[in-house]
């Protein structure tokens, strides 16, 4: 009989973030051999899923992604930072670092191919951080969030969507 391993955290669905991709600045290949691109993310939304507390809705009013691609072209490295304001007027500083598997359908998006299409969840995973001053939102700052991401392609451009879960510590011991 195999002993069940315990002590691993679980995940609680928490937040959906959607940022609209704006201007692209392609820096090119940098000192470490990676290609660096800067994407503006000037608008979007951050909203909790039903049942997550504290519940809030926020509008993204500033942001950018310093996206780099590994020299071998197999992965992209997300470094997105932004600001949002809740409906109550509270500011949220949000940050997202992740990894994208550069599958052929993902590469079409970054190559601006006319054949580019929305990619499903499963190519990008990441970790999120929040900085807040509002005491009601401090759980965001004092917790760990992980996500799956996807890129939505539509007639007006691109949207990066992440579905974030709160990491919940295990109370079970071996």
Residues 19-63: pLDDT tens digits?
A: 999 999 999 999 999 999 999 999 999 999 999 999 999 999 999
pLDDT at residue 147 above 70? yes
pLDDT digits (tens, 9 = 90+) for 75-123: 999 999 999 999 999 999 999 999 999 999 999 999 889 999 999 999 9
* Per-residue confidence (pLDDT) for residue 2, from 0 to 100: 64
What phi, psi does 132 have (nearest 5°)?
-140, 155
The string of DSSP codes covering the chain is -PPPP----EEEEEEEEEEE---EEEEEE-TTS-EEEEEE--EEEEEEPTT-SS--EEEEEEEEEEEEE-TTSSEEEEEEEEEEEETTS-EEEEEEEEEEE--HHHHHHHTT-TT--PPPTTSEEEEEEEEE--GGGHHHHTS-EEEEEEEEEETTEEEEEEEEEEEE------
Q: What fold is seen in the domain 22-167? A: Porin (2.40.160)
The overall average pLDDT reported for the chain is 95
Going by pLDDT thresholds of 50, 70 and 90, the confidence category of residue 1 is low
Side-chain-facing half-sphere of 99: CA atoms under 13 Å: 5
Mean pLDDT of 7-19: 96
* Per-residue confidence (pLDDT) for residue 156, from 0 to 100: 87
* Per-residue confidence (pLDDT) for residue 124, from 0 to 100: 97
* Per-residue confidence (pLDDT) for residue 54, from 0 to 100: 96
Alpha-carbon distance values, 77 to 3, 11, 47 (Å): 37, 23, 24
* Per-residue confidence (pLDDT) for residue 79, from 0 to 100: 97
């Amino acid at each position: 009989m195999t002993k069940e391993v315990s002590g691993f955290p679980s995940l609680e669905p928490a937040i959906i973030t959607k940022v609209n991709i704006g201007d692209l600045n392609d820096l090119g290949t940098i000192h470490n051999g990676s290609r660096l691109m800067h994407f503006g993310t000037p608008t979007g939304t951050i909203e909790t899923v039903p049942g997550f507390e504290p519940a809030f809705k926020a509008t993204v009013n500033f942001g950018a992604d310093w996206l780099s691609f590994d020299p071998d072209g197999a992965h992209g490295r997300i470094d997105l930072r932004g600001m949002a304001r809740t409906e109550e007027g509270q500011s949220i500083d949000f940050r997202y670092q992740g990894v994208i598997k550069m599958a052929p359908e993902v590469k079409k998006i970054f190559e601006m191919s006319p054949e580019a299409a929305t990619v499903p969840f499963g190519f990008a995973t990441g970790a999120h951080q929040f900085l807040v001053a509002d005491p009601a939102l401090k759980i965001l700052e004092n917790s760990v969030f992980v996500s799956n991401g996807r890129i939505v392609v539509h007639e007006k451009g691109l949207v990066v969507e992440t579905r974030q879960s709160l990491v919940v510590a295990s109370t079970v011991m071996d």
